[in-house]
């Protein structure tokens, strides 16, 4: 049986090294580390040059470490097909007009038929209010939409006793 595929979006990877003490940042770091340490081996992991670019833009604590992590992942290229899908997303208002980063991540995961897009971006990606629109556009252009999830949503049940029938 082949492993499911996961595209690791920038916000997930940066959460692994985020040392801010804000309660949300701390919780995201803890949940990201838990997934990374306990679950990553169950999946085939991918990222893209878009992720590497975003992680390289500004200096931050842990940057060297997180960039080293990307070197261990399969890097998906940004092809003309991906760029075309980004343009379709832009024209159909799937993502805000200002930036193309989120649209690029979604396009890459969709073009390469990735099963899961792992992210902390709940505004533009892991957002139940956007899914139907994204799925409609992807269906129109012949793409399957990846499940867009936060790390806690992709944790597998480890405790066998918790899965016993009642």
Residue 118 banded pLDDT, cuts 50, 70, 90: very high
Calpha distance 137→11 (Å, rounded): 24
Q: What is the pLDDT of residues 69-78, one digit of tens each?
A: 999 999 999 9
Tell me how far CA of residue 94 lies from CA of 23, 143, 164, in angstroms.
Answer: 30, 14, 41
- Predicted structure pTM score: 0.91
Is residue 101 within 8 Å of 157, Cβ to Cβ?
A: no
Asked if 117 contacts 149 with a C-beta cutoff of 8 angstroms, the reply is: yes
Q: What is the mean pLDDT of the chain?
A: 92
- For the chain, the structural domain boundaries read 4-155
Predicted pLDDT at 59: 87
Q: State yes or no: pLDDT of 149 exceeds 80.
A: yes
Residue 6 pLDDT > 60, yes or no?
Answer: yes
What digits encode the pLDDT tens for the residues 76-114? 999 999 999 999 999 999 987 766 799 999 999 999 999
- CATH code given to domain 4-155: 3.40.50.1010
Weakest mean pLDDT among 15-19, 128-132, 156-160: 156-160
pLDDT > 90: percent of the chain: 82
What pLDDT, on the 0 to 100 scale, is given for residue 155?
87
Q: Reduced to 3 states, what is the DSSP secondary structure of residue 15?
A: helix
> Looking at per-residue confidence, does 159 or 85 come out higher?
85
The separation between the first and the last C-alpha atoms of the chain, rounded to the nearest angstrom, is 29
Assign 3-state DSSP to the chain and report helix, strand, coil percentages, each to 5: 50, 10, 35
Q: How far apart are CA 160 and CA 158, in angstroms?
A: 6
């Amino acid at each position: 049986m082949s492993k499911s595929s996961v595209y690791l979006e920038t916000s997930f990877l940066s959460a692994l090294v985020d040392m801010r003490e804000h309660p949300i940042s701390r919780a995201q770091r803890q949940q990201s580390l838990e997934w990374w340490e306990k679950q990553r081996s169950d999946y085939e992991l991918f990222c893209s040059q878009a992720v590497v670019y975003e992680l390289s833009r500004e200096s931050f604590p842990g940057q060297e470490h997180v960039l080293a992590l990307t070197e261990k992942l399969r890097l998906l290229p940004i092809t003309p097909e991906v760029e075309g899908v980004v343009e379709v997303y832009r024209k159909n208002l799937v993502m805000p007009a200002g930036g193309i980063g989120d649209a690029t991540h979604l396009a890459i995961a969709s073009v390469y038929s990735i099963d899961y897009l792992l992210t902390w971006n709940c505004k533009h990606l892991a957002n139940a209010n956007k899914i139907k629109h994204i799925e409609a556009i992807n269906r129109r252009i012949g793409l399957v939409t990846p499940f867009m999830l936060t790390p806690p949503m992709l944790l597998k049940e480890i405790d066998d006793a918790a899965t016993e029938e009642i």
